[in-house]
Amino acid sequence: MQTKNDPKILVALDFPSENPALALVDQLDPAKCRLKVGKELFTRSGPSLVRGLQDRGFDVFLDLKFHDIPNTTSAAVAAAADLGVWMVNVHASGGENMMVACRERLEAFGADRPLLIAVTVLTSMSADDLAGIGITESPEAHVSRLATLTKNCGLDGVVCSAQEAPKLKAEQGTDFKLITPGIRPLSAAKGDQQRIMTPTDALKAGSDYLVIGRPITQASDPLAALEAIHSEIVAL
Ligand SMILES: O=c1ccn([C@@H]2O[C@H](COP(=O)(O)O)[C@@H](O)[C@H]2O)c(=O)[nH]1
């Protein structure tokens, strides 16, 4: 399932600054993982850090989860495309007009455009959390609704939990990419994640890419933790 040119593991670089992030990155192999830059690190270190990761040979998933009016969000994904990132994302709950505007804006970048992905229901949310914001359907049903909207808007895939992957692959087809955080090896702490799955089970369920942060970055030996997950999934 793991191929040399399409690493399935996306390491979430949730660090407070560039130095600890690069200390880890400089031990990693771009043939075995890609890197995800999120809100904390990007707010601290910005585009220059992203360029530094790209200069080291890594594909970068810019996980800023844009959620704004169509004009603002489409300009933001174009800025991400100018930066040359591999993947960028928006919130599906921003709606059809916003997602279509983003997809259309990226068409100008041709084959070099980043993959455009929409976040469905955060993996930290349970059915109770959804009820708290007025959504009474199950996480699985709501993810499915937002994934259908995302596909109809012409995006490349969604962020969801691996728990929803079998249903989404059946409904949306195998080409529609599923990016799944909430990945937890059996020995790892769940932390604030609610809808979790092990790396092996997630890939078997249909995940295309596994987003993994603390089980690697907070491990006593991050490299060994990544290598253990990598060995587990290449054997599939
Ligand atoms: O639904 C979502 C969307 C994004 N994330 C991000 O993924 C990583 C997960 O980190 P862990 O330490 O492995 O929990 C983190 O950067 C989140 O911002 C998510 O968890 N769920």
- Say whether the ipTM exceeds 0.90: yes
- The verdict on residue 4 lying in a domain is no
- The verdict on residue 151 lying in a domain is yes
- The verdict on residue 192 lying in a domain is yes
**Rounded Cα gap, residues 104 and 179, in angstroms:** 22
pLDDT at 125 over 70: yes
In ligand 1, the atom with minimum distance to the C-alpha of 217 is 12
Q: What is the number of alpha carbons within 13 Å of residue 95 lying toward its C-beta? A: 5
Token look-up 């399935």 returns 8
Mean pLDDT in residue range 97-106: 99
To the question of whether residue 32 is assigned a binding role by annotation, the answer is no
**Rounded Cα gap, residues 1 and 9, in angstroms:** 11
pLDDT at 2: 45
Determine if ligand 1 sits within 6 Å of the CB of residue 127. no
In ligand 1, the atom with minimum distance to the C-alpha of 36 is 16
pLDDT at 3 over 90: no
Determine if ligand 1 sits within 6 Å of the CB of residue 139. no
- The verdict on residue 193 lying in a domain is yes
Determine if ligand 1 sits within 6 Å of the CB of residue 38. yes
Q: To test the ligand 1 pocket, which listed residue (14, 36, 226) has its Cβ within 8 A of the most ligand atoms? A: 14
Domain count, the chain: 1
- The verdict on residue 2 lying in a domain is no
Determine if ligand 1 sits within 6 Å of the CB of residue 194. no
Q: To test the ligand 1 pocket, which listed residue (66, 123, 159) has its Cβ within 8 A of the most ligand atoms? A: 123
Nearest CA to ligand 1 atom 13: 213
Mean pLDDT in residue range 46-68: 98
**Rounded Cα gap, residues 90 and 231, in angstroms:** 32
Mean pLDDT in residue range 141-166: 98
| CATH number reported for the structural domain that contains residue 136 in this entry | 3.20.20.70
- The verdict on residue 171 lying in a domain is yes
Give me the domain span that covers residue 140: 9-234
pLDDT band at 173 (very low <50, low <70, confident <90, very high): very high
- The verdict on residue 1 lying in a domain is no
What is the pTM for the complete model shown? 0.97
pLDDT band at 5 (very low <50, low <70, confident <90, very high): confident
